[in-house]
Every structure is written in C-alpha cells, then in structure tokens.
C-alpha cells in the first residue's frame, strides 16, 4: 500500500520520510525545502516544475519506495 499520495503536502512528506529529500532533489523539486512546502501538494509542486504523466508516476513510485511503501 502506498504511504505517499499526490495530495500530501511536500513538507509533510519530508518530515515523515526524511529519506525522500534526495528524490525530490533528483527531480529538481527543491521546493521540498522552501516555504511552499507547507501548503503545496506534491502534485501541485510537480506540475509547477513540469513533472507530469509518466515522469510523475515514476516520482511517486520512488517516493513510496523510499518511504517503505509500494
């Protein structure tokens, strides 16, 4: 079962699963460490950085793997 979903706030993800920060940076989502992380969902942040479709699915898969989910 997935632990991280597209509606979770970036800051919430990093706080719960610190190992995900490297994945955010790999995808150039440096917003995971900025003020927007408190109110922006991962889906919103990804869209703002042009990450969508298959690339977004890959991001979610990597994040969930790092969080110990599927």
The encoded tokens of residue 39 equal: 């109110």
Residues 49, 28 contacting (CB under 8 angstroms): yes
pLDDT confidence tier of residue 70, bands split at 50, 70 and 90: low
Per-residue pLDDT tens digits for 34-49: 666 678 899 998 998 9
Greater confidence, 2 or 23? 23
């Amino acid at each position: 079962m997935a632990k991280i979903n597209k509606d979770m706030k970036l800051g919430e993800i990093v706080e719960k699963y610190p190992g995900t920060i490297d994945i955010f940076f790999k995808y150039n989502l440096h917003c995971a460490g900025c003020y927007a992380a408190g109110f922006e969902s991962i889906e919103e942040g990804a869209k703002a950085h042009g990450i969508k479709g298959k690339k977004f699915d890959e991001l979610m898969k990597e994040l969930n793997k790092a969080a110990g989910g599927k």
